[in-house]
């Protein structure tokens, strides 16, 4: 059957929620179904477009206040985003619509997949290096910059990643397309998200963060509109992350309770999540490590997930929550936007703002949609 949004519904989309409540029973049901129907349908073109545009717009809205305190970010949310003034200010020297490294690197991953007809870490590494060496990158993280320099010198991708204890969110922020590619294969999803991360980051927390974001996007794509089960998503993500970084998995599980707390409370707890003494350099770059979301991968990924789970049916509210956490707002809004857009589809994203997206005069709304079309064609023919 075909829903009004054009989504094709297969029998195995019907969860046994009508039959029995409870995640455990549902999981057993899915496990049983997977033995007789091993192939899930691919995601729809509309949801993929929602994920890419959702990421780019979250990035463009968030970068306006990137690095600022939570108080300033909350003022931006209340006085600009909540008063229909979104898009009236950009981040100098750019006007509104410019997205940053998060979405540039995501776009390059999509381009690599199309060119190589699959994920090719070596090709993606070359594209990361080119983005930096050609001075096309807008905003940059330390680890990705260092790894890009190594890649440009000919270091293979298996050795180019920055070692622990650097654990920024650079690998997580570009991981969404891995969730698009492997929405039907969990083992490949986790394995490829790890490889994707290792190109620039080798700290297991940074790798786990990439698995969490790719996984969340994948689960969002699989959920029918209005059927997202937050507790099931949390459990799945924790299960995928645990073999890589058990402490991160435990932090993800805390979202079971944190998602019921107001943002003002939750941000204090999440901003300190996973912090160890050696992480001060990452967290301390920001106006206040406590109460502001730093680029450290644990709190920034958790805050992005929280923003989605807190408002799963409203893209702009998800973006507002992400930005209200302050600090690394372009990245938290980009990651949250990629998940929310994957779940809600393109029509949930404000079109007038999305149509102003750009990257220094290139790769605006229409070219990004064409990119999704090309990706979809490769995905569904492979
Ligand atoms: Mg950025």
Q: For residue 56, what is the domain's CATH number?
A: 1.10.4080.10
Q: Which two tokens stand for residue 290?
A: 């406590």
Start-to-end Cα distance in the chain: 24
DSSP secondary structure letters along 121-177: HHHHHHHHHHHHHTT--SS--HHHHHHHHHHHTT--TTT-SBPTT--BSTTTTT-HH
Q: How far is the CA of 62 from the centre of ligand 1 (A)?
A: 9
Q: What distance in Å separates the CA atoms of residue 333 and residue 55, rounded to the nearest whole number?
A: 7
Q: How far is the CA of 102 from the centre of ligand 1 (A)?
A: 5
Q: How far is the CA of 114 from the centre of ligand 1 (A)?
A: 24
In a domain, 206, yes or no: yes
pLDDT value for 99: 97
Q: How far is the CA of 184 from the centre of ligand 1 (A)?
A: 29
In a domain, 6, yes or no: no
In a domain, 24, yes or no: no
Q: Which residues have CB under 8 Å from 257's CB, separation 6+?
A: none
Q: How far is the CA of 2 from the centre of ligand 1 (A)?
A: 38
Tens of pLDDT, residue by residue over 231-241, are 999 999 999 99
Q: How far is the CA of 338 from the centre of ligand 1 (A)?
A: 14
Q: How far is the CA of 63 from the centre of ligand 1 (A)?
A: 7
Tens of pLDDT, residue by residue over 292-317, are 999 999 999 999 999 999 999 999 99
Helix (H, G, I), strand (E, B) or coil at 98: strand
Q: Compute the CA torsion angle 362, 368, 374, 379 (nearest 10 deg).
A: 140
Question: What's the predicted TM-score (pTM) here?
Answer: 0.89
In a domain, 22, yes or no: no
In a domain, 263, yes or no: yes
Per-residue pLDDT band for 39 (boundaries 50, 70, 90) equals low
Q: How far is the CA of 140 from the centre of ligand 1 (A)?
A: 6
In a domain, 251, yes or no: yes
Q: How far is the CA of 100 from the centre of ligand 1 (A)?
A: 5
Q: Percent of the chain at pLDDT above 70?
A: 86
In a domain, 166, yes or no: yes
Per-residue pLDDT band for 14 (boundaries 50, 70, 90) equals very low
The crossing angle, in degrees rounded to 10, of helices 329-344 and 45-62 is 160
Residue written as tokens 């780019």? 56
Does residue 208 or residue 12 have the better pLDDT?
Answer: 208
Q: How far is the CA of 325 from the centre of ligand 1 (A)?
A: 15
Q: How far is the CA of 244 from the centre of ligand 1 (A)?
A: 25
The sign of the CA dihedral 307, 265, 66, 131 is negative
Q: Which two tokens stand for residue 123?
A: 């090709």
Decide: 318 and 340 in contact? Cβ < 8 Å: yes
Q: What distance in Å separates the CA atoms of residue 107 and residue 173, rounded to the nearest whole number?
A: 11
Domain that holds residue 120: 49-76+97-275+285-381
Specify the DSSP class assigned to residue 314. -
- On the question of pLDDT at 193 being above 80, the answer is yes
Q: How far is the CA of 359 from the centre of ligand 1 (A)?
A: 12
Q: How far is the CA of 137 from the centre of ligand 1 (A)?
A: 9
pLDDT value for 183: 86
Q: What is the mean pLDDT of residues 280-285?
A: 51
Q: Which helix (H) or strand (E) holds 32?
A: helix 23-36
In a domain, 43, yes or no: no
Decide: 271 and 301 in contact? Cβ < 8 Å: no
Q: How far is the CA of 193 from the centre of ligand 1 (A)?
A: 20
Q: What is the mean pLDDT of residues 234-258?
A: 98
> Which of the residue ranges 114-118, 225-229, 260-264 would you say has the lowest mean pLDDT?
225-229
Decide: 107 and 367 in contact? Cβ < 8 Å: no
Decide: 99 and 363 in contact? Cβ < 8 Å: no
Neighbouring-strand partners of residue 201: 162
Q: Compute the CA torsion angle 64, 68, 70, 75 (nearest 10 deg).
A: -50
Smallest CA-to-CA distance from 61 within 87, 92, 84 is with 87
Q: How many CB atoms lie within 10 A of CB 272?
A: 16
Q: How far is the CA of 171 from the centre of ligand 1 (A)?
A: 12
Q: How far is the CA of 333 from the centre of ligand 1 (A)?
A: 10
- On the question of pLDDT at 334 being above 70, the answer is yes
Q: What distance in Å separates the CA atoms of residue 57 and residue 320, rounded to the nearest whole number?
A: 12
Q: What is the mean pLDDT of residues 178-200?
A: 96
Q: How many separate domains does the chain show?
A: 1
Q: Which two tokens stand for residue 44?
A: 């729809």
Q: How far is the CA of 282 from the centre of ligand 1 (A)?
A: 15
Q: What distance in Å separates the CA atoms of residue 273 and residue 198, rounded to the nearest whole number?
A: 22
Q: How far is the CA of 311 from the centre of ligand 1 (A)?
A: 23
């Amino acid at each position: 059957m075909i829903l009004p949004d054009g989504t094709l519904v297969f029998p195995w989309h019907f969860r046994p929620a009508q039959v029995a409540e409870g995640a455990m029973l549902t999981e057993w049901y899915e496990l049983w179904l997977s033995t007789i129907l091993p192939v899930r349908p691919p995601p729809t073109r509309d949801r993929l477009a929602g994920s890419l545009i959702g990421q780019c717009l979250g990035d463009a809205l968030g970068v306006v206040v990137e690095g600022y305190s939570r108080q300033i970010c909350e003022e931006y949310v209340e006085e600009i985003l909540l008063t229909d003034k979104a898009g009236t200010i950009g981040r100098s020297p750019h006007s509104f619509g410019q997205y940053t490294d998060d979405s540039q690197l995501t776009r390059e991953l999509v381009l690599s997949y199309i060119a190589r007809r699959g994920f090719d870490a070596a090709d993606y590494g070359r594209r990361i290096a080119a983005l930096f060496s050609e001075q096309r990158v807008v905003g940059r993280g330390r680890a990705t910059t260092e790894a890009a320099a190594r890649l440009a010198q000919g270091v293979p991708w298996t050795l180019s990643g920055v070692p622990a204890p650097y654990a920024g969110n650079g690998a997580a922020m570009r991981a969404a397309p891995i969730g698009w590619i492997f929405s039907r294969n969990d083992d490949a999803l986790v394995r490829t998200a790890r490889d994707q991360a290792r190109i620039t980051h080798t700290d297991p927390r940074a790798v786990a963060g990439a698995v969490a974001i790719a996984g969340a996007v994948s689960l969002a794509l699989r959920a029918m509109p209005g059927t997202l089960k937050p507790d099931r998503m949390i459990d799945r993500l924790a299960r995928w992350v645990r073999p890589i970084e058990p402490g991160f998995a435990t932090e993800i599980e805390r979202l079971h309770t944190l998602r019921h707390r107001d943002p003002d409370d939750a941000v204090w707890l999440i901003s300190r999540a996973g912090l160890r003494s050696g992480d001060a350099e990452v967290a301390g770059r920001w106006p206040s490590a406590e109460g502001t979301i730093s680029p450290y991968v644990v709190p920034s990924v958790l805050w992005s997930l929280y923003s989605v789970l807190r408002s799963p049916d409203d893209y702009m509210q998800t973006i507002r929550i992400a930005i209200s956490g302050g600090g690394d707002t372009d990245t938290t809004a980009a990651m949250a936007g990629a998940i929310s857009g994957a779940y809600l589809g393109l029509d949930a994203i404000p079109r007038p703002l999305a149509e102003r997206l750009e990257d220094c005069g290139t790769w605006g709304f229409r070219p990004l949609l064409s990119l999704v079309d090309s990706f979809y064609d490769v995905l569904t023919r492979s």
